[in-house]
């Protein structure tokens, strides 16, 4: 009996990874550089996908700088764009990793709204609202990675 095989069309997964200083300037640079990379990958500036990714990257980078900062250590940004099927243009994965492991933020479904009148504490609530999926992961070397995924539709 002959085995039937279905040919798969080739695809390319695009990856960008960069380390940034754990400063407000590093967080801004991460967002700006990421938008240039996404544009080069065919996700145009000011498109819904680009604007959503910019907000998520800004929040995760700001959290890494504010809550995940360890003096002398940087944070990492990793973007991955994988092609999709006939319904989805692809998946954009955004990962921001820092070296502080003992201050792990709550994960999906665990977020509590910040106290009324507080000027902070809304970042991960925004990520949860915008991302199709997200998670907080341990990483080696010590630290954590916050991952958010966006389904890019036609």
pLDDT, one tens digit per residue, over 15-73 is: 999 999 999 999 999 999 999 999 999 899 999 999 999 999 999 999 998 876 677 68
| pLDDT at residue 67 in the model | 75
Q: Do residues 139 and 97 make contact, with C-beta atoms less than 8 angstroms apart?
A: yes
Q: Where are the domains of the chain?
A: 14-106+120-153
| pLDDT at residue 12 in the model | 80
Could you report the per-residue pLDDT of 77-94, keeping only the tens digit for each? 999 998 876 666 789 999
User: What pTM, to 2 d.p., does this model score?
Assistant: 0.84
Residue-wise burial string across 102-130, b where 16 or more C-beta atoms lie within 10 A, e elsewhere: eeeeeeeeebeeeeeeeeeeebbeebbeb
Distance CA 120, CA 91 (A): 29
| pLDDT at residue 113 in the model | 74
CATH dotted code for 14-106+120-153: 3.30.565.10
| pLDDT at residue 120 in the model | 60
């Amino acid at each position: 009996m002959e085995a039937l095989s279905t040919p798969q069309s080739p695809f390319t997964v695009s990856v960008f990874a960069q380390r940034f200083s754990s400063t407000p300037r590093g967080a801004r640079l991460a967002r700006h550089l990421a938008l240039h990379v996404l544009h080069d990958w065919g996700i145009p500036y000011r498109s819904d996908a680009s604007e959503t990714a910019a907000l998520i990257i800004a929040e995760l980078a700001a959290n890494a700088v504010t809550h995940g900062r360890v003096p002398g250590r940087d944070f990492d940004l990793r973007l991955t764009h994988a092609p999709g099927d006939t319904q989805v243009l692809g998946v954009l994965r955004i990962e921001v990793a820092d070296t502080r492991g003992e201050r792990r933020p709550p994960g999906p479904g665990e977020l509590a709204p910040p106290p009324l009148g507080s000027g902070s504490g809304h970042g991960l609530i925004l990520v949860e609202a915008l991302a199709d999926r997200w998670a907080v992961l341990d990483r080696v070397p010590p630290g954590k990675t916050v991952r958010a995924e966006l389904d890019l539709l036609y």
